[in-house]
Structure 1
């Protein structure tokens, strides 16, 4: 079970999924090679040996990066597992490097520095359903 976050470009005034116009198509994040280079620079320990499915690991969490094989790249989906608020640091670092927003797919809200409620809600749900993460 993962907490899913999508990295995408949004209009400046959007703060939640409800505010995204129905006909909105995000601008691409960039050419695939440029997106992968930005990821590698933002998170140097990311394993991009499979460029379509990168991975980042720490002692308390892991993040799969679904970059896909399309060129240009419209969005990057992050599948996050683990515990602790440190997992948000690479998420925000990736969003900044790609000049985009990080949208919590479960809560429908943008992830911003210090905003951890969606991650905490996910962990509580996961622990209730599956037992505490070890």
Structure 2
């Protein structure tokens, strides 16, 4: 079970994914090489040997970067597992390097460093309840 967040370039001022008009075309984040370079700058220890699916292990968490095979890349999905808040440094760091926003897939909200922890903590509480720990 993972907490999934989407890195996506969306119009300024949007606070939830359902506020994006359907007729606005996706703005690419960049070429695959640009994406891999941004991840490497923020998290040099990330395993990017598969350029479509990267992996990073923190002390108490893991993160997968679902980059996909399209080039240019429109979005990157992060699959995050574990606990602890230091993974947010990577999540928001990569988003900043790509000049995009972080969207919590469980609720569709745009996350910021100020509100990002609430979605992560809610996921952990739900996960712990479901698996019985």
Bin of the TM-score, shorter chain as denominator length: over 0.9
What is the 5 A alignment of 1:12-27? 12-27=12-27
1:25 Cα shift? Answer: 2.6
d(CA) in 1 for partners of 2:123, 2:22: 26
For this pair of structures, how many residues does the alignment match?
132
1:13 Cα shift? Answer: 1.8
Per the normalisation by structure 2, the TM-score is 0.94
2:89 corresponds in structure 1 to: 89
Deviations 1:48-73 (A, max 9, x none): 01111100101200000000111000
Deviations 1:104-131 (A, max 9, x none): 0002111111311111111111000013
Per the normalisation by structure 1, the TM-score is 0.94
Deviations 1:41-92 (A, max 9, x none): 1211111011111001012000000001110000000000001111211000
Partner secondary structure for residue 109 of structure 2: coil
1:128 corresponds in structure 2 to: 129
RMSD: 1.0
2:39 corresponds in structure 1 to: 39
Partner secondary structure for residue 85 of structure 1: coil
d(CA) in 1 for partners of 2:34, 2:97: 11
d(CA) in 1 for partners of 2:24, 2:70: 19
Which stretches of structure 1, 4 residues or more, deviate above 3 A after TM superposition?
Answer: none
